Structure 1
């Protein structure tokens, strides 16, 4: 009886392990890895923080009041307003406002090419 239980448990363990393997021969990519590949491709197209880029962002995330008032494009105040409008102010994934990586993050996650 004990031997039958041991054999049964062993069979269950083997089946559980076999079920965990993918034998389709296709490389497996997790959703996180897939997202990373997409973000890498998007960032590869990014040309850096520039006046053209600031204008592109401002056309999609309006930072002024519609009457010509608002922070200077590209300033830390402007970047802070962009974060506020996107609802991401204080997000731990964001780089410091004065770093190039901040622009990369905003571009990769929120800004769509208008071409």
Structure 2
């Protein structure tokens, strides 16, 4: 079973993502700020990180940069309300694996998760 770290500070969004992923058999953990996200992602426990950019303490850009500087190669999908093309380009420059804008359909998120975990297509 794959374990996914959800770094999101909005409870409603966190609950939506967490409930959906668990329904599809994933194990999840939640980080509510950027510092917690970095500390949790440093373990080898997680297979993927869903990362909001608007986190407290450390923003998502800082989290992404720190993890990549540390050599962490886990797939990171940015999940944010920021839909500017320039923001997406920055995300890719920071070596994010994907970029999904809010609001989104859960099935779109699930497809991306499966894609980055190498689980193939959903049924």
Give TM-score, length-normalised by structure 1.
0.25
Greater per-residue helix proportion: 1
In our comparison, the structure showing a higher alpha carbon Rg is 1
Greater per-residue strand proportion: 2
Give TM-score, length-normalised by structure 2.
0.24
